[in-house]
């Protein structure tokens, strides 16, 4: 299968080598029967975190979220109590607003006031949970962190009165010896609880360009066409950049009940990947009353702004012009292969 061949070739690349020669942009090719995503279908759904810049295409991609503990006057105050591996404990934290007071006014996004992601720094142990907020603004959620090591927590929320959301990040430490896991090589599919999820990108995924990723769910070889809405969507996708755990906002295309979005097997997402590098993707989807998470490693190539075939003005990105990257980009032009035609919008 063509897809498998390509993935194998990319697997030969070296992970975490920014600006180096492997900058191959594409994980897998488009899957034939999926409809082309419409950029028009991709309206603000209220959960964006500083993601506005990427959509107009004139200001370059927004920086990833989650890299700062304090941003735009909002500060994440992480738990102070020590965490113990394998022990269920209440993770307690708060968000302080611009005046230093605990934030108590939030806007709901994807049915929740705040989405909490916790992951170990080696990108294992991903959890997406929804804490409860007390009247004093303290958030709390029972959680078990299975292994020792350094973790990262991400609070994704939209304060009342703000136009765009925020993702604040903080470190958590779980005491004990641990051996970091190597990041799995890119693969076109992941299997979880008997479900197979296939990842396909529409054309090469490159830094600075909006990418459409479609995840297709099957079970026992049969497409799953009765996915259940989970938090207002058929799937939720989180992407974290390997190396610094930059957090990307990813928007599902369409929503349950809009008359056009099927309940599977394909779920399409849009995001603008801010840089080349390696990313870990986590898809939460619900079927049979249970939420499961499929995971993928995705390599993202350098921006192709000097590619004459890539002339879509909506994706013109003049500010993303890093001279240090030019050599790497020219060195990988052959890797762009045959898919440039498909990449036109």
Shortest spacing between CB 307 and Cu ion, in angstroms: 37
Shortest spacing between CB 117 and Cu ion, in angstroms: 8
Query: Quick one: which of 55, 115, 241, 320 contacts Cu ion (CB under 5 A)?
Result: 115
Instruction: Write out the two tokens for 187.
Output: 């693969």
Shortest spacing between CB 220 and Cu ion, in angstroms: 29
Binding mask 119-148 for Cu ion (x = CB under 5 A): ------------------------------
Segment near Cu ion (CB under 5 A); pick from 115-123, 139-147, 160-168, 286-294: 115-123
Q: How far apart are CA 335 and CA 15, in angstroms?
A: 16
The answer for residues whose C-beta is within 8 angstroms of residue 56's C-beta and 6 or more apart is none
Closest CB to Cu ion among 127 and 261?
127
Closest CB to Cu ion among 22 and 151?
151
Closest CB to Cu ion among 154 and 296?
154
Segment near Cu ion (CB under 5 A); pick from 107-115, 193-201, 238-246, 329-337: 107-115
Shortest spacing between CB 176 and Cu ion, in angstroms: 28
Beta carbons of 280 and 252 less than 8 angstroms apart: no
Q: How far apart are CA 119 and CA 117, in angstroms?
A: 7
* Bond preceding residue 131 cis, omega within 30 of 0: no
Closest CB to Cu ion among 113 and 329?
113
Closest CB to Cu ion among 6 and 110?
110
Shortest spacing between CB 12 and Cu ion, in angstroms: 36
Strand partners, 255: none
- The reply to whether 299 sits near Cu ion by the rule CB under 5 A is no
Q: How far apart are CA 300 and CA 260, in angstroms?
A: 30
Closest CB to Cu ion among 188 and 283?
283
- Using Cβ positions, the residue closest to Cu ion within the complex turns out to be 115
The answer for residues whose C-beta is within 8 angstroms of residue 196's C-beta and 6 or more apart is 189, 190, 217, 218, 219
Identify the sign of the CA torsion 121, 240, 233, 185. negative
Shortest spacing between CB 107 and Cu ion, in angstroms: 14
Q: How far apart are CA 323 and CA 50, in angstroms?
A: 26
The candidate with the shortest Cα–Cα distance to 265, out of 290, 291, 235, 232, is 235
- The DSSP element (H or E) to which 5 belongs, if any, is helix 2-11
313 φ/ψ angles, rounded to the nearest 5 degrees: -65, -25
Shortest spacing between CB 133 and Cu ion, in angstroms: 14
The answer for residues whose C-beta is within 8 angstroms of residue 302's C-beta and 6 or more apart is 19, 23, 25, 206, 207, 276, 325, 328, 329, 332
Shortest spacing between CB 158 and Cu ion, in angstroms: 12
Closest CB to Cu ion among 115 and 251?
115
Segment near Cu ion (CB under 5 A); pick from 35-43, 91-99, 109-117, 218-226: 109-117
Query: How big is the site for Cu ion, counted in residues (CB under 5 A)?
Result: 1
Residues that bind Cu ion (CB under 5 A): 115
């Amino acid at each position: 299968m063509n897809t498998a061949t390509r993935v194998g070739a990319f697997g030969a690349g070296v992970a975490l080598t920014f600006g180096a020669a492997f900058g191959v942009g594409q994980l897998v090719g488009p899957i034939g029967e999926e409809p082309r995503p419409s950029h028009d279908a991709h309206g603000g759904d209220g959960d964006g975190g500083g993601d506005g810049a990427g959509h107009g295409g004139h200001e370059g991609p927004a920086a990833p979220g989650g890299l700062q503990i304090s941003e735009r006057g909002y500060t994440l105050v992480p738990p102070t109590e020590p965490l113990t591996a394998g022990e269920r404990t209440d993770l307690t934290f708060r968000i302080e607003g611009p005046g230093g007071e605990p934030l108590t006014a939030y806007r709901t996004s994807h049915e929740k006031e705040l989405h909490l992601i916790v992951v170990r720094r080696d990108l294992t142990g991903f959890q997406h949970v929804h804490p409860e907020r007390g009247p004093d603004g303290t958030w709390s959620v029972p959680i078990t962190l299975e292994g020792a090591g350094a973790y990262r927590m991400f609070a994704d929320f939209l304060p009342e009165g703000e136009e765009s959301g925020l993702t604040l990040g903080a470190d958590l430490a779980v005491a004990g010896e641990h051996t970091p896991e190597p990041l799995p090589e890119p693969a076109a599919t992941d299997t979880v609880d008997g479900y197979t999820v296939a990842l396909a990108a529409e054309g090469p995924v490159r830094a600075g360009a909006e990418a459409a990723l479609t995840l297709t769910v099957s079970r026992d070889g049969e497409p799953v066409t009765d996915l259940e809405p989970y938090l207002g969507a058929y799937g939720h996708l989180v992407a974290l950049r390997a190396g610094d755990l930059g957090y990307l906002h990813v928007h599902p295309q369409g929503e349950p009940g809009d008359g056009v979005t099927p309940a599977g097997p394909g779920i399409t997402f849009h995001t603008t990947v801010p840089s080349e590098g390696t990313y870990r993707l986590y898809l939460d989807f619900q079927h049979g009353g249970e939420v499961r998470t499929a995971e993928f490693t995705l390599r993202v190539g350098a921006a192709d702004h000097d590619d004459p075939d890539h002339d879509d003005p909506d994706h013109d990105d003049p500010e993303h012009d890093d001279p240090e990257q030019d050599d790497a980009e020219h060195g990988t032009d052959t890797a762009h292969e045959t898919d440039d035609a498909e990449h036109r919008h």
